[in-house]
Amino acid sequence: MQRSTRLALTFLACCAGCASPWTVDHYALPGASLATRHAFFIKGGEIGAASPVGQDVSARVDTEVRAALTEGFTRKGYAQAANVAAADIVLSYQVSGSRKYVMPEQTRVGAPSPTTVLSPSEIQPPPASTVPREQLMRDTTVIVFVDDPASGQLVWRGLITAETRVGSTEEAIRTVGQMAGHITQEFPARQAAK
């Protein structure tokens, strides 16, 4: 195999591994000139769930989302401001979620057809495999808001809603941070001053 072919295949494999399962729904205020702004400040956010969320979990979610927003906006060329007065965009976020149990879409292995079971002249087959167990699913929504500090007006919004399968609280917090980071990829990169 030629070297250029190997490099191309490696590049495609890396790109496929970086693909995200999430689609970002975003809105930008027409004429907001987002790419000409230079500094951001993270105001904070809200966390909502069907059941109460402890303060320790809220604090860890806040830390994770702030880190993702800081990394994402810094990578886009924006500087982090020390306070709202020094920023020309103010970021906030909202995280909500709910848990539900679902049955996996699997057919039972070896399940007999209804006509075989209901026919008295047929020899009854052995019992089928057990019914698949329920799985815990989470419907998670992460929204990032970008406001203009002078007017208080919303100038940009990014949103991801996804059904996730997570096994622990730590994994759920990490997933929320990854979703926030993925939203920042849709924000326009800063243009250098002319």
- pLDDT tens per residue, range 26-84: 999 999 899 999 999 999 999 987 777 889 999 999 999 999 999 999 999 999 999 99
- Domain coordinates in residue numbering, the chain: 35-100+135-194
pLDDT tens figures, 135-171? 667 789 999 999 999 999 999 999 999 988 777 889 9
Q: Find out if CATH 3.30.160.180 is the number for domain 35-100+135-194.
A: yes
Distance of alpha carbon 130 from alpha carbon 150, whole angstroms:
62
Name the residue with tokens 């075989």.
116
**Strand 39-49's sheet: what is its strand order?**
25-28, 154-164, 135-147, 89-102, 39-49, 79-80
Count the Cβ atoms, other than its own, within 10 Å of residue 84. 11
